[in-house]
Amino acid sequence: MRRTIRNLLVGGVLLSAAACGTATGTTPTATGASAPAVGVPPAVASTCEALGQAYGNNIPAFAQALSALAADPKTVADAQESLAAFATAVADATKASDDAQLRADGKQAADQMRAKSADKKFFAAIKTTKDVDQTIGPTLTQWLSPITRHCS
């Protein structure tokens, strides 16, 4: 469980760093220094920064809620609320973008996350740390794929 949370936090920090680097017209390097990014429109860059912040602010709580759910199924409401809050943060981060496609993709990702937050069967399937890893890894990546392609 601790490995899962640590991996999530590292992933969140990397996504946030990438988004912030992109937002300032730079990309982070291995040393933490910045190098110029190529062809990132300012409208997309500022939204990517907001998405990085939304991810960084919400992934720890979501990871913790899923880990708690794997240990105690009675905590399902906390996990659902955490995912719903994450969806709201994604929607808020993208709704004011100057890029129409990014706004639409942000709405799509947020709607998908919000729908899953109400899906009791989805949460009932999370019983082990392996299930948590799957949800945080490939599943979350799939949910966020409409917007992450703009910020890569």
pTM of the full predicted structure? 0.76
Per the CB < 8 A criterion, the answer to whether 47 and 94 are in contact is yes
**87-144: per-residue pLDDT in tens?**
999 999 999 999 999 999 999 999 999 999 999 999 999 999 999 999 999 999 999 9
The token pair that represents 52 in the structure block: 């990085």
Helix ranges (H only) for 72-119 are 76-94, 100-117
Q: Which two tokens stand for residue 4?
A: 């899962």
| Whether 35 contacts 27, CB under 8 Å | yes
- pLDDT of amino acid 15: 46
CA distances from 127 to 7, 82, 113, 139 (A): 19, 17, 20, 15
- Tell me if 25 sits within 8 A of 40, measured CB to CB: yes
**Which residue shows structure tokens 């994604």?**
90
pLDDT digits (tens, 9 = 90+) for 55-88: 999 999 999 999 999 999 999 999 999 999 999 9
Q: What pLDDT sits at residue 1?
A: 44
